[in-house]
Structure 1
Amino acid sequence: MFYKDRDIPYKLKAEEALMRRLNVNHSKLPVIEEEYRKKLAGIRGEKELDYHLSCLANNYLIINDLRLQQGAHFFQIDSLLISPKVSFIIDSKNIAGTIIFDHEFNQCIRIFNEKEEGIRDPFTQVQRHIRLLSQWLDEHKLPALNLEYLVAISRPSTIIKSKGTNSYSNFRVVHAAHLISRISDLEKSYPKDLTSIKEIKKIAKQLVKNHVPHKPNILDTYSIHPNDVKNGVQCPQCHAIPMDKVYGSWYCPLCQTSSKTAHIPALSDYYFLYGSTITLSQFSDFLLLPKSKSKSASSFLISLNLPCSGSKKGRVYDLTSLIEK
C-alpha cells in the first residue's frame, strides 16, 4: 500500500510565486523558469514510477518523498518500499536522450541534442542513502532492513548505456516499465523474513513521523532582493498586479474584474516567498493597503481568523492554516 503519497514540492510552489512577481525582463527569470521545468519533468517521471509501483501495493509499504535528518545531514528518498524480507530504495530519473553510466570513473553522462554533460551519479547518491537510512534506523532503535536499490528511468525513449564492467550496478538500473520484474528477480535472494509485518508498520510510522519537508528560502536560493518582488494582489482574470481594495472587494483597474477573495492567493505567495508568519505592517505593505486606513487593514487581518501570538503592537499571525488547508 502507499503509506505516504507524494507532496507537491514546496520549492515548486515558491518558484511559481516568484515567477508571478518578477518583471518579465528580470535577469534571473530564465534560470528560475528552467529549474521549474526540470522539476515538472521530475514530477511527471515520479507519476510514471507510481503507476508501476501500484502493482506492488499489496506486498510493500510504499513511502514516497521521504526526507530525513541523520546527524548533520539531510537525505531524501524518491520511493522507499519496505517489507519483512527485503526493502528497496528507488531513485527516479526522468532524463531525455542517452544516459551513460561510467563505472570506471563513477560518473554519469547525458547526451541530448548532440550536447554531452555530466550529471549527478545516482549510484553514489543511492548508496549514500542506504548508509544514512541504516544509521537512522539504528539510532532510533528500529529493526534493521535488508536494503537494496534500483535506479528507475521513467522515460521509455531514454537510451541506457554502460561504460566499464560492473554487472552489480548495471542490473540495478532499469526502465520504469521493467521495474516490477527486476524487483521480483532481487526478491529471490531474500527467501526468509528478516522482521515481522508488525515491525514493518512500526518502522513506516516512525519514518513518516520524522519526515522533514524541504522548505528553502527561495529569494536566497536565486539571490533575489525583496525590492525586485512585486507587492500587491494579482487579478485572477488578467493576472495584472496590483488590484485596488474598494468597499470590501478587490478591483482590477485594467480589466474591471472584481473579487472578494483575490487576497488569498496573494497571501499564499507571501507564505512561499517570505515565510509562514506575517505582521500587520507586512500584511499592509504586501497587499498595498493605504497607511491612512491602518484600522481597516487591522480589521481585515483579524477577520481571517489566523492563529496569532504576541502583544497588540508586535502581534504575529501564522498563515499556515490559511495556505495549507
Structure 2
Amino acid sequence: MSISIERLRSLLDRLSPDHHLLPAVEQAYGIKKSGMNGEASLDYHLHFIDGDFQVLNGIRLQGDLYIFQMDVVLVTRSRIFLIEVKNYAGELIYDGDNHQMLQIVDGQQKAYADPILQAKRQTVQLRKWISQQTLPSIPISSLVVFTNSYASLDSPHPDVIKSSYLPFKINAMKPLPDVWTEEEMDRFVRRCRSFHQPENGDVLKRFGIREDELIRGVLCLNCPRVCMDKAHGGWRCPKCGGFSKRKALERAMHDYLMLMGDKVSNQQLCDFLRINDRQVANRILKSLGYKKVGSTSNSYYLIPTD
C-alpha cells in the first residue's frame, strides 16, 4: 500500500464519525485506493506485451510551473506509452464531442473531465521534461485504460480502451525504429525515479485539520475509534474486552508516524496515547526500540519509517 493511502487510512481511523471533514477524507481515500487497485490489476495484462520494456508507476515530475503525475509509463527503446488508468465502475461513456467522460451507476449520471485531454497534457509535459534531460526526442503514445472488469465501456475513440485489450493494441502497433540505446532507456528510468516528487506528507495540513481534532489513544483493532485502556502487560478494550500486548500499540505509533512525523518526545507520546505517567511513556518508548536523540529535556525518539 502506498504511503499516501496509509496516511489517509490513519486519518480516517482518528476522525470522529461526525467530523465535518470526514466525507472529504473518505472520498480522497476511495479515489486513491481505486487508482491503486486499477494500476495493480493492469500489471497482469502488461505481461502479454511483446518485446523488452520497463514500467514506472505513479511517477510525479516537476514541470515548468506544476508537478505532473503519470499513472503508468511503459518505456521501450523506440517509444514511450503514457497510460492513464481509470478504475470506474458502472456504465462508462466517452463523449469526445463534449470532452467529457460519463459514468452511470444505479441510474445516476456523473461527468468527469476528458481523460484524453489529461493524457495529452501529460504527454506535452513529459516531452519537454525529456528534452531537459539531454535525451534524444522519442515518440510518446498516450492511452486511457479502464481496469474495472465489471464496467461497460462505450468509446468510439481508439485510445480509450479496456485493460484486457491493452497488450493486443500495443502488439498490433506498427513497429518503430529504436531511438534510445539500452543505456539511454535505463538513464531515463533512473532519472524519473530520482526526480520523483512524492506527494506532500502533511495530510493534516492538506485538509486543514488540527492535531487536537484527532482521536487520541491506542485504538482497538476490532472496534472502530474505541480507545483501549492501559492494562498490565498491554492494552484492553472497554467495549469488546479484547486484549493486545503490542499490536494495537504498534498500530497507534504507525498512525503517529503517518500523521505527526517520525520524531516523538516523551510528552508527545503521553499526549497522543493519553498517558498520564511519563515513566510509563519512557518504558513504552524503550520497549519499542526507538533510537533516542539527545540527553536533555529536548530529547526525542525516532520512529523507524521502514
Band the TM-score falls in, shorter-chain normalisation: 0.7 to 0.9
1:47-94 per-residue CA deviation (whole Å, 9 max, x = no partner) reads: 221110122375211111212222442111111111111110011111
Stretch of structure 1 that moved more, 172-181 or 257-266: 257-266
Which amino acid in structure 1 is aligned with residue 144 of structure 2?
V
- For 2:90 and 2:233, how far apart are their aligned partners in 1? 54
Q: What does residue range 278-289 of structure 1 map to in structure 2 within 5 Å?
A: 278-289=264-275
Aligned identity (percent) is 28
Tell whether the 8 Å contact from 1:98 to 1:161 is kept in structure 2 after alignment: no
Q: TM-score of the superposition, structure 1-length normalised?
A: 0.83
Q: Does 2:101 match 1:78?
A: no
Q: Does 2:298 match 1:314?
A: yes
- For 2:48 and 2:226, how far apart are their aligned partners in 1? 47
Q: Does 2:122 match 1:113?
A: no
- Secondary structure, in 3 states, of the residue corresponding to 2:104? strand
- For 1:142 and 1:127, how far apart are their aligned partners in 2? 20
Which amino acid in structure 1 is aligned with residue 220 of structure 2?
C
2:160 counterpart (144, 158, 173): 173
Q: What does residue range 96-107 of structure 1 map to in structure 2 within 5 Å?
A: 96-107=89-100
Tell me which residue corresponds to 2:213.
228
- Secondary structure, in 3 states, of the residue corresponding to 1:56? coil
Tell me which residue corresponds to 1:159.
153
Stretch of structure 1 that moved more, 67-76 or 237-246: 237-246
- For 1:159 and 1:256, how far apart are their aligned partners in 2? 47
Q: TM-score of the superposition, structure 2-length normalised?
A: 0.87
Shift of residue 203, structure 1, vs aligned partner = 1.5
Q: Does 2:14 match 1:21?
A: yes
Tell whether the 8 Å contact from 1:231 to 1:286 is kept in structure 2 after alignment: yes
Which amino acid in structure 1 is aligned with residue 172 of structure 2?
D
Count of residue pairs the alignment pairs up: 304
CA RMSD of aligned residues (A): 2.5
- For 1:302 and 1:312, how far apart are their aligned partners in 2? 16
Tell whether the 8 Å contact from 1:235 to 1:242 is kept in structure 2 after alignment: yes
Q: What does residue range 255-294 of structure 1 map to in structure 2 within 5 Å?
A: 255-290=241-276, 293-294=277-278
Which amino acid in structure 1 is aligned with residue 213 of structure 2?
D
Which amino acid in structure 2 is aligned with residue 200 of structure 1?
M
- Secondary structure, in 3 states, of the residue corresponding to 2:89? coil
Shift of residue 185, structure 1, vs aligned partner = 3.0
Stretch of structure 1 that moved more, 18-27 or 174-183: 18-27
Q: What 5-or-longer segments of structure 2 have no aligned partner? A: none
Q: What does residue range 188-267 of structure 1 map to in structure 2 within 5 Å?
A: 188=174, 190-239=175-224, 241-254=226-239, 255-267=241-253
Shift of residue 299, structure 1, vs aligned partner = 4.4
Tell whether the 8 Å contact from 1:153 to 1:174 is kept in structure 2 after alignment: yes
Shift of residue 256, structure 1, vs aligned partner = 5.0
1:122-144 per-residue CA deviation (whole Å, 9 max, x = no partner) reads: 11221121122222222232343
- For 1:123 and 1:277, how far apart are their aligned partners in 2? 43
Shift of residue 239, structure 1, vs aligned partner = 4.9
